[in-house]
Structure formats: structure tokens, C-alpha cells
């Protein structure tokens, strides 16, 4: 015990006593995640303020074999940011490293520290007349380091890609305490291996991202948003194809949602209102962003909706008439994850399949769910434009939470079997963390797993970085 106290004192000395938390009430917010599925224990939470402090922490951790769990805004949904139950780990919170070091308007880049909250970066880009296009439901609290570590996706991925596609350079502290300074703004660079992409999506298992250079894009001059009611996903798929043909990259969002997803939001979120006069089985939230003018965006959207009506692809649609109404439409979509909680237990799947396979996947997955639990309620919504669906299953009305959650493995296996049948992925944007580690081990090609383990060993020979996660 005395030896452990001495070690913790050494860690605390690096960041100062005020930034080394060890009291239970102080560290408890760092030990659970939004879904309340993973709970851990930690010896201490360290809040470094500089890259040099992070380097000193990891150097000491490697020398002493102390497990380290990096944590950003603690919004991850697969347990990747939560320590195990052993209580030996130190959590390294990047929240104090929150400087926006530079907005380079000419290069259209931002250099930011890992603890910068996503929404703050969006606002800083907006003030500079630019746009940072990564957009997530948790953007008011998630941090850039966590976004990169999990390769976050979100609603802007249709045109701009995921976090990896928006990253030009990184500053990373390796488990040994060495610092990889690769904060370059280059959009073309073929000098050897692309090391930064090993850390993006690695969920803190190879090192700690402390800063990044990210891409900014021109801010649209016109934006139109439509809430569309449809009969089925097949109609949505055809509408998406025709919208892309007409609008190209100006189609910046195409979100699909089933009625249950909207119903839960209307039931549990104050101020939520159905944009359409009647109920529909499926909905699309479509966005057009024009670099020319508001009139151009409006014309494009009206052409898409008119074509869809003529072809019988949509039953009804509402165009947002103001910025407030646009925000209200997006609010309906963004609240779909959280609105499931009051409905009881939910078994969640973050999957992707080829875009063309989405209607067939939804049909087959529904059949698979019914075999596991006939009365379970499918809550399907997501980014149809890039093939990523949040295919969630809420407990039957009146069911016991624990009895439904006992079906977790069976339900996962059933849905993911359908995903594999369509050559899809069981982790599209949330990562692996603790939740999906065993499934990755069961289903990934053996050569791929072996390569991942070799990379992990090469970067983290002491095995201190986020143990128990990913592999």
C-alpha cells in the first residue's frame, strides 16, 4: 500500500495536486459512460495541462507498469474510455488541454489541442467564415482527441468523411513518453508510412493524441432542410440515388429513421413536434448545402422533392422555413439515441452495409429480431447516405429490463449475422472498446488480428495503454 501511495504521489507531482484526483466523489464522473453499461475503478485521475506533462505521465507509467486509460469528453458508447475493475489504472483526462492554437484561413485548417470540445471548434471555424463539418449528437461535450481516437463519423460523413478524413496531422505521446510531432498541414505527403492513421481509430491503445491539424471547408452560402415521409426504405434508397444524381456533393445529409425512432423523441423530448400532418412508416432528413446562394439551395431541394413526388417515392415533405425550424428538424434526429432510454432497456447495434443493401438488410434484420424477441421494438435510424445505421432494439412494452438484457448476446449474434451476410461491419463509427472486443476476436480474419497485435506490441511493449480494449 505504501508503495502504491508513493507511486501515485509521483504521478501527482507531474500535474500538481489540484489536477490529480483521488477522492471517490471526485473521480466517480470518470468511471461510468452514457449508457451506464460499463463501470470501472481507478487509482487516480490526472489532468495534464501540457504535452510535456502527458509525456512524463506515460514515461513513468511504462517504467512502473501502470495501466493508463486516456479520456476525452467521456461520451463514447462502447466503453473504450472506462478502466477495468482492478483499480490500478490512472485515467488521463485531456480536458485541460483545450487551446485552439491556430485557425489558418488560407490553408483552411485548424490546429487544436485534444481537449477542445467539438462545438467550440465548430463555432471558431464559423467565426472565421469556414466550417468544421464533423457533427455529432454529443458535440456539446465530446472532445477532438476522443473524436479522432474513435474515428467518429456523424451526419456530415456523407460528403466530408469521418474524423480520419478530416485529419491532416497529429501530435501524439507514445507509451514510452516520446512525442511524435506531426502537426503538418499538408494535403499531399507520400514520405513513408502514414503514421497518423495508426492512431486515428486506435481508441488510445497505441498512445495519447494531444493535438491535431484538421481540415476546414468553405461555409455554405445557402442551406435547405427537408423532413420527408415515405413508405419504406426501398423508396428512400431510390430517392437518395436520384438526389445524388441531381445535387452531387451539395447533398450534405441524408438521414433515415423509422417511425419508432421519431415516436420516442415526440414522447420524451420537450418541445419536439412532428413536422408532418400525418404519420409515416419511415422518414428522411435531407440537407442541401450550396456554395452559390440560398436560392440555389432552395431550387435544388424543390427539384428533388418534386421529382420524388412525381415518381411516388415520397408521401409528404416539409421544408424548414427558418434557421429555428432547421434546428428543430435536426433536434428530432439528434435526440433519437437518448429518447430510447425512457422506453427501457435497449440493445444497440452500430452497423454498416453497402448502401444498396440497406432495404434488404432492414427486412432481414427485422426477421432476425423477431426470432429472438417477437414483441421487441426495432428503433432504426442513421446515416443512409454512407450505409451506417443505428439498428437498436428496445424492450417490449411491459417487459422486465433484466430479462430483456439477458438476450443481449443472442440479439447481437442474430443482427450481426445478417450484417455479415451483406458483407458489412458490426462497428461503423462507435469503435470497439470493451463492448465489441470479443466479437472482433471471433470474426476478424486471423491475419488481420495478428497484424493488429504486432502493431500494439511494437508501440506499447509494456502493455500499459488502455488495456482490455480493442484487442
Sheet with 100-104, side-by-side order of all strands:
100-104, 109-113, 208-215, 167-173, 179-182
**CATH number of the domain enclosing 181:** 3.30.465.10
CA atoms of 354 and 430, how far apart (whole Å): 18
What confidence tier does 77 reach under pLDDT thresholds 50, 70, 90?
Answer: confident
Q: Quick one: average pLDDT of 22-27?
A: 95
Instruction: Tell me, yes or no, whether 282 and 201 share the same domain.
Output: no
Q: Quick one: average pLDDT of 272-296?
A: 97
Residue ranges making up the domain that contains 417: 344-429
Tell me: pLDDT of 2 over 80: no
Instruction: Tell me, yes or no, whether 354 and 319 share the same domain.
Output: no
Q: Quick one: average pLDDT of 234-246?
A: 97
Phi-psi region at 403: left, alpha or beta (left = phi > 0; alpha = psi -120 to 50): alpha
Instruction: Tell me, yes or no, whether 114 and 207 share the same domain.
Output: yes
What confidence tier does 107 reach under pLDDT thresholds 50, 70, 90?
Answer: very high
457 in any annotated domain:
no
What's the pLDDT score for residue 111? 98
What's the pLDDT score for residue 154? 87
Task: Give φ, ψ of 312 to 5 degrees.
Answer: 70, 25
Q: Quick one: average pLDDT of 76-92?
A: 94
What's the pLDDT score for residue 358? 98
Instruction: Tell me, yes or no, whether 293 and 245 share the same domain.
Output: yes
Instruction: Tell me, yes or no, whether 119 and 205 share the same domain.
Output: yes
Contacts of 97 (CB under 8 A, 6+ apart): 48, 49, 50, 51, 54, 113, 114, 115, 145, 210, 211
What's the pLDDT score for residue 35? 79
Instruction: Tell me, yes or no, whether 209 and 254 share the same domain.
Output: no
80 in any annotated domain:
no
381 in any annotated domain:
yes
Domain count, the chain: 3
Q: Quick one: average pLDDT of 134-146?
A: 93
Tell me: pLDDT of 346 over 90: yes
Q: Quick one: average pLDDT of 308-312?
A: 97
Tell me: pLDDT of 267 over 90: yes
**CATH number of the domain enclosing 397:** 3.30.70.2740
Tell me: pLDDT of 1 over 70: no
Query: Across all residues in the chain, what is the average pLDDT?
Result: 96
Note the pLDDT tens digit of each residue in 33-64.
Answer: 887 888 999 999 999 999 999 999 999 999 99
Q: Quick one: average pLDDT of 284-295?
A: 96
Q: Quick one: average pLDDT of 61-68?
A: 97
Instruction: Tell me, yes or no, whether 325 and 231 share the same domain.
Output: yes
**CATH number of the domain enclosing 229:** 3.30.70.2190
Instruction: Tell me, yes or no, whether 110 and 203 share the same domain.
Output: yes
Instruction: Tell me, yes or no, whether 286 and 350 share the same domain.
Output: no
391 in any annotated domain:
yes
What's the pLDDT score for residue 361? 98
Instruction: Tell me, yes or no, whether 252 and 298 share the same domain.
Output: yes
Instruction: Tell me, yes or no, whether 105 and 214 share the same domain.
Output: yes
68 in any annotated domain:
no
Instruction: Tell me, yes or no, whether 183 and 255 share the same domain.
Output: no
Amino acid at each position: 500500500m505504501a508503495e502504491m501511495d508513493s507511486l501515485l504521489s509521483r504521478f501527482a507531482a507531474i500535474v500538481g495536486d489540484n489536477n490529480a484526483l483521488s477522492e471517490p466523489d471526485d473521480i466517480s464522473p470518470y468511471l461510468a459512460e452514457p449508457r451506464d453499461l460499463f463501470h470501472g475503478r481507478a487509482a487516480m485521475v490526472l489532468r495534464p495541462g501540457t504535452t510535456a506533462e502527458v509525456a512524463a505521465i506515460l514515461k513513468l507509467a511504462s517504467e512502473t507498469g501502470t495501466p493508463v486509460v486516456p479520456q476525452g469528453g467521456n461520451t463514447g458508447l462502447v466503453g473504450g474510455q472506462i478502466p477495468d475493475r482492478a483499480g490500478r489504472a490512472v485515467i488521463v483526462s485531456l480536458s485541460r488541454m483545450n487551446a485552439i492554437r491556430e485557425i489558418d484561413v488560407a490553408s483552411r485548417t485548424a490546429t487544436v489541442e485534444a481537449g477542445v470540445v467539438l462545438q467550440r471548434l465548430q463555432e471558431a471555424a464559423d467565426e472565421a467564415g469556414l466550417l468544421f463539418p464533423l457533427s455529432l449528437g454529443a458535440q456539446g461535450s465530446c472532445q477532438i482527441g476522443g473524436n479522432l481516437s474513435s474515428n467518429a463519423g456523424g451526419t456530415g460523413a456523407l460528403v466530408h468523411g469521418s474524423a480520419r478524413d478530416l485529419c491532416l496531422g497529429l501530435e501524439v505521446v507514445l507509451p514510452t513518453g516520446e512525442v511524435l510531432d506531426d502537426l503538418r498541414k499538408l494535403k499531399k505527403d507520400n514520405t513513408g508510412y502514414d503514421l497518423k492513421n495508426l492512431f486515428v481509430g486506435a481508441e488510445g491503445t497505441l498512445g495519447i493524441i494531444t493535438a491535431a491539424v484538421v481540415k476546414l471547408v468553405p461555409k455554405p452560402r445557402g442551406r435547405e432542410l427537408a423532413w420527408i415521409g415515405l413508405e419504406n426504405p426501398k423508396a428512400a434508397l431510390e430517392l437518395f440515388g436520384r438526389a445524388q444524381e441531381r445535387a452531387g456533393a451539395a447533398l450534405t445529409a441524408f438521414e433515415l429513421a423509422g417511425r419508432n425512432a421519431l415516436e420516442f423523441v415526440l414522447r420524451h423530448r420537450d418541445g419536439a413536434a412532428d413536422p408532418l400532418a400525418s404519420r409515416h412508416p419511415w422518414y428522411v432528413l435531407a440537407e442541401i448545402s450550396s456554395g452559390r446562394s440560398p436560392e440555389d439551395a432552395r431550387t435544388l431541394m424543390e427539384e428533388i422533392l418534386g421529382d420524388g413526388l412525381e415518381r411516388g417515392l415520397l408521401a409528404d415533405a416539409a421544408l424548414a422555413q427558418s434557421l429555428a425550424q432547421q434546428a428543430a428538424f435536426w433536434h428530432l434526429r439528434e435526440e433519437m439515441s437518448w429518447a430510447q432510454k425512457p422506453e427501457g432497456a435497449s440493445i444497440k447495434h452500430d452497423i454498416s452495409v453497402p448502401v444498396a443493401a440497406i432495404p434488404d438488410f432492414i427486412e432481414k434484420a427485422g426477421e432476425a429480431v423477431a426470432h429472438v424477441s417477437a414483441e421487441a421494438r426495432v428503433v432504426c435510424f442513421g446515416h443512409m447516405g454512407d450505409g451506417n445505421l443505428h439498428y437498436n432494439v428496445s424492450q417490449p412494452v411491459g417487459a422486465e429490463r433484466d430479462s430483456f438484457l439477458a438476450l443481449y448476446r443472442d440479439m447481437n449474434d442474430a443482427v450481426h449475422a445478417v450484417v455479415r451476410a451483406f458483407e458489412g461491419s458490426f462497428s461503423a463509427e462507435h469503435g470497439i472498446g470493451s463492448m465489441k472486443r470479443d466479437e472482433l476476436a471471433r470474426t476478424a480474419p486471423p491475419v488481420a488480428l495478428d497484424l493488429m497485435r504486432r502493431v500494439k506490441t511494437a508501440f506499447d511493449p509494456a502493455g500499459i495503454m488502455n488495456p482490455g480494449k480493442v484487442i
